Structure 1
Amino acid sequence: MLIVMAGLPGSGKSTIGQVLGSRLGLPVISVDPIESAILKAGIDADQPTGLAAYLVAEMHAETTLAAGRSVIVDAVNAVNPAREQWINLAQRRSKPLKFIEVMCSDPEIHRERIEKRERQLPHLQLTWHAVEQSLEDYAEWSGASAAVGRITLDSVEPLGVNIDRAMAFLES
């Protein structure tokens, strides 16, 4: 199975994805560390490093699926072309696909998470202002991506509750 996390930075998707990966014994491929490595290599930030990171993640996920293993992909997936990338991968590999979208319904909690977050990705510094701009670009789920199995979790809820909901969704 291909499990794809989606949601704004700081929404809680990486935390939920990591817990699910640990609980299910699945690898988690995260786009952010890949993009950070691309930037660390000296590729200019004005280049399409985000797209490159998605393509590297896709290749890694495809290799994992081809080896007969399920995988979790952790990425913002803010627009339908990004979401359709995973739909196409699942179709190519004849694997089921489930999207887990994570949002934070409380803007103050979301902002606090961003401002207090310490990540080991020095080339990807994130501000609350950037997240607010990302929200403006976050597309409604439509077309092929709206037809795929998806659950939306609110990270204001306790982590354990969201993990239980995600596990039940994945098992359905």
Structure 2
Amino acid sequence: MLIVMAGLPAAGKSSVAEGLGRALPAAVVPVDPVEAAMWRAGVDRGQPTGLAAYLVAEAVADGVLALGQSAIIDAVNAVEAARRQWRTLAARHRVPVAFIEVVCSDSRVHRQRLERRSRGIVGFEEPTWQAVQKRRAEYEPWTDQRLVLDSIADLPSNVAKAQEYVVIAAQPPQAAP
């Protein structure tokens, strides 16, 4: 199946994705390291490297799904076009897609996480709090069913909830009697 994480930077989606990837197991395909690799390769930051990173992540996930394995996309997925990209990929492979949005309900904690985090992605600059707020304002409403997790809860509980959700989402629809 295809599992799509969503949420603002530093909300906690990567932590949930990694925990879920270990628990299932499933390949985690994060977009930020892909974009940083493009910059390290000399692609100008003025180019649409964010879009390109989503397309590279799609290609990687396409290969994983072609092997009959599950993939977890780790990206902000703030706009409908990105979400449609993942629905289309899942449909192409005839696998279920499950969306999981991670939020942080305490803006003080969210900001502290952002300002303290260092993920060690060479060449990747973490966004500022102002950039995260701008992204929040541009976040498009959801039309897909999704699980919403609040990262104020402990990580093991959120990973367990995510795992329960994807197990249910992976079940084929029941036929009407």
Q: Which TM-score applies when normalising by structure 1? A: 0.94
Residues 83-92 or 128-137, more deviating: 128-137
User: Which residue in 2 is equivalent to 1:27?
Assistant: 27
Highest CA radius of gyration, 1 or 2? Answer: 2
User: Which residue in 2 is equivalent to 1:137?
Assistant: 138
Corresponding residue SS for 1:15: helix
What's the offset of the Cα at 1:121?
A: 2.0
Return the alpha-carbon distance in structure 1 between the equivalents of residues 85 and 106 of structure 2: 30
User: Which residue in 1 is equivalent to 2:43?
Assistant: 43
User: Which residue in 2 is equivalent to 1:84?
Assistant: 84
Corresponding residue SS for 1:153: strand
What letter corresponds to residue 78 of structure 2 in structure 1? A
Could you list the runs of 5+ residues in structure 2 that have no partner in the other structure?
Answer: 169-177
User: Which residue in 2 is equivalent to 1:61?
Assistant: 61
Return the alpha-carbon distance in structure 1 between the equivalents of residues 159 and 135 of structure 2: 25
- Matched residues, percent identical? 49
What letter corresponds to residue 13 of structure 1 in structure 2? K
What's the offset of the Cα at 1:92?
A: 0.7
Return the alpha-carbon distance in structure 1 between the equivalents of residues 155 and 163 of structure 2: 12
User: What CA RMSD, in Å, does the superposition of the two structures yield over aligned residues?
Assistant: 0.9
Residues 117-126 or 61-70, more deviating: 117-126
Deviations along 1:7-61, whole A, 9 cap, x unmatched?
Answer: 0000000000000001112110000000000011111111100000000000010
Return the alpha-carbon distance in structure 2 between the equivalents of residues 94 and 132 of structure 1: 36
Equivalent pairs counted in the alignment come to 167
Return the alpha-carbon distance in structure 2 between the equivalents of residues 138 and 93 of structure 1: 28
Runs of 4+ in 1 over 6 A off after TM superposition: none
Confirm or deny: 8 A CA contact 2:24 2:163 kept in the other structure.
no
Alignment of 1:1-172 (within 5 A): 1-125=1-125, 126-142=127-143, 146=144, 149-172=145-168
What's the offset of the Cα at 1:169?
A: 0.6
What's the offset of the Cα at 1:165?
A: 1.1
Confirm or deny: 8 A CA contact 2:3 2:97 kept in the other structure.
yes
Q: Which TM-score applies when normalising by structure 2? A: 0.92
